[in-house]
Chain A
């Protein structure tokens, strides 16, 4: 298929004039039947690639995606783009619903599926019966970042791929270091000779990078308040805990008079929908969120992303700040850091990876007090693979070490006095020669929103108030 044909389809079917950077190369590689790993920034148009493959070729596009909440968003987005035959297959479905879908797979064009569901025998059997256009693994970096800690079924993806007669692969991620890319590709060893790897530079020149070290927690809190009052929104503030995201939303709303709303994966689907849509629509000034927020959100005009806590590693950090400035206009990413903040992350690693003692206790003495259900599942999985207790312990210790190392890069970044951009680009194996030099700063006084023309303009004019129901009905149903 020639270049012109691809563009024609793009214009005719999707109404876009031009491809975003990288899309065309990736599509060409896919049409040439190459398995493809694409490292594209958030907002780089990943959805369009598999949507387009759905338009160009017959068969089912299978999209493996890690988060349930994200899956809902993706289905909604394809619906929004006019695709009707889209379904999400996951543990939220009843047995009957699942049966229905599996018996009618050929009716669908796109199927989103979690690794856990995909690894179930009936699902694999059903998928073997239909023609698979493309197998997409979204957020493919999770195969090597947290796949092994929490989700044993991620380990099985290469095997499942083989069981499904090796359909063509498209692995998508916004963030992968050269090592991660090697690791991901190597896990699909059989097809490894024929890979096309596309990597777009990770640097986003329109996102100004700014780090601040504060003396203590209460100064950090006050500083956050000032930033929110002075920097142009809309913005997102990331926290590690749901609880803090929720209580800070309330505090910041009260203190600043702005409309600050919390978002996290513990909320029910409709509440999350409301928050997302209010944010999309510009009714919310600032979202206080956990990392669950943003993966499925296409808001172009986010002007700032503030991190109140560290991300787990630079890959996640990059992913999260990448939600700013998708419209290409000036935006800022601010990292607030107090010495010791990393303890939260270290604790999370300790909690998610069982200790040597806990592993021995479970595997050799059948003790269950020190391990969670997910960990048990993982331990059993390794046992099934015939590993000894000692080698399982080694696996986990290495894993813990690896995550601690990755976290260390994040800490180094937070403590850095200079060279923020260089650090990130280097970390992801990018060339650093042509990076802009004057688009970063460190220190509370080193940066003012004025310098980027990001001074908060309006005072919030949309504090919500419940109106008369009869008025609401008029607006809901276009009655005059």
Chain B
């Protein structure tokens, strides 16, 4: 099922690690996984399939290899390139399946989009039923946190003209979409005596699978998310619900503190001592922040001094993906690897890709 989509995550010019792609989709992240996610330009897909099964995923990759779509670079490297046939398959997939439009511009982690989507579904049903004064219905079964969140939200809405606020906000957003898309999206929603439409009932392309449907819906909610985040002052019922669902941020509070302290001139050693963090953790914080933040928001020049850059430049040439730390290493100081990796991140952010 995920087949068609998975092949599109590979490249014919950049060997990609199976383990990294799985980690990204499932949101099992290490600094290394995220770094490679950045290199592959796949960070958009972090947490796209939280229930992905590792065995199933590995089987798919094996199948791709058997079908001659992927080829492993060397033996047991876990790195794969699309073959010519694989590239054709990828292009065919892209033509037949939904192409993500909005998620790539996300300013929020995907989990927030998903939480917003779930909360919206339930809230929309609650508001719809309340407009018919009906209390006897099968509520959509969303995850517990979302359910509680919607409950809390609805209690707060008491005494407000929730139906008209709700309809106004929905209308505003639907007007942003192409009319056909707006019709289709609204048709998926559940409400009073309205069970909502599934994929095959929506008049979407017949080549689409459940995965396309999932990506299509999620992508539209990512767009809605961006739309709402631009009008932060919106205190309508929907705006409030949206705010409640924005629980994750790209950087954890602890990582953000580390970046702040570094920017203010505190050294890694002092941070480590003050906050009882291992120095390795502080370095990981910084690399994670560098990967996740836009280039201008991270103080690269504090680390990548002219001396460091000159040294690295003179020892490293060619494709970044093939650089070896061993070529620049001069001692056992782990800071060296930190600088090496940070430099790679910096160059990637500057737009250097294979």
Q: List residues of A whose CB falls within 8 A of some B CB.
A: 72-73, 75-77, 79-80, 82, 87, 92-94, 96-97, 100-101, 250, 261, 266-271, 273-278, 280-281, 283, 373, 464-470, 472-473, 475-479
Contact = CB atoms under 8 A, between A and B. Distances in A.
Interface string B165-184: 01100110010000100111
A97 B121 contact: no
A274 B170 contact: no
Contacts of A275: 195, 198
B192 A476 contact: yes
A477 B138 contact: no
B186 A277 contact: no
B140 A273 contact: yes
A270 B140 contact: yes
Find the residue from B137, B193, B199, B201 having the highest chain A CB count within 10 A: B201
Given A270-B140, A477-B128, 9 more contacts: A97-B143, A270-B196, A271-B199, A464-B201, A472-B187, A473-B167, A476-B128, A477-B167, A478-B128
Given A72-B141, A274-B190, A275-B198, A82 B136 contact: yes
Nearest to B140: A273
Contacts of B198: 261, 271, 274-275
A466 B186 CA distance: 9
B84 interface: no
What interface size band does chain B fall in?
35 or more
Contacts of A250: 200
A378 B54 CA distance: 20
Interface string B119-160: 001001001100110001111111111000000000000000
Find the residue from A466, A470, A472, A479 having the highest chain B CB count within 10 A: A466
B202 interface: yes
Contacts of B1: 266
Nearest to A474: B167
The majority secondary structure among interface residues of chain B is helix
Contacts of A476: 124, 128, 131, 186, 189, 191-192, 194
20 contacts: A77-B138, A79-B139, A80-B138, A93-B144, A101-B144, A269-B140, A271-B199, A274-B196, A277-B196, A464-B197, A466-B197, A467-B183, A468-B179, A475-B194, A476-B124, A476-B186, A477-B163, A478-B128, A478-B163, A479-B167
A93 B148 CA distance: 13
B182 A268 contact: no
A277 B192 contact: no
B214 A268 contact: yes
A87 B144 contact: yes
B234 interface: no
B131 A477 contact: yes
| Nearest 10 A/B pairs, CB to CB | A277-B195, A478-B131, A72-B141, A469-B186, A476-B191, A278-B195, A76-B138, A469-B182, A472-B186, A477-B131
Nearest to B206: A250
Contacts of A468: 179, 183
A478 B192 contact: yes
A479 B166 CA distance: 12
Interface in B300-327: none
B181 to A, nearest CB: 9
Find the residue from A75, A281, A473, A479 having the highest chain B CB count within 10 A: A473
A100 B195 CA distance: 31
A125 B86 CA distance: 53
Contacts of B137: 80
B352 interface: no
A416 to B, nearest CB: 38
Nearest to A242: B1
Contact of B141 (A76, A466, A475): A76
A274 B136 contact: no
Given A277-B190, A466-B203, A478-B192, A92 B143 contact: yes
B210 interface: yes
Contacts of A478: 128, 131-132, 163, 192
Contacts of B203: 465-466
A94 B195 CA distance: 28
Contacts of B163: 477-478
Contacts of B193: 281
B171 A473 contact: yes
B133 to A, nearest CB: 9
B77 interface: no
Contacts of A467: 183, 187
Nearest to B117: A270
B296 interface: no
Contacts of B145: 94, 96-97
A31 to B, nearest CB: 28
Find the residue from B55, B144, B170, B210 having the highest chain A CB count within 10 A: B144
B214 to A, nearest CB: 7
Contacts of B192: 476, 478
A469 B174 contact: yes
Contact of B197 (A72, A266, A267, A274): A274
Interface string B200-238: 111100000010001000000000000000000000000
Nearest to A92: B143
A266 B167 CA distance: 33
Contacts of A373: 55
A186 to B, nearest CB: 36
B240 to A, nearest CB: 18
Contacts of B183: 466-469, 472
Contacts of A87: 144
Nearest to B136: A80
B144 A273 contact: no
Contacts of A270: 121, 140, 190, 196
A130 B124 CA distance: 36
B186 A473 contact: yes
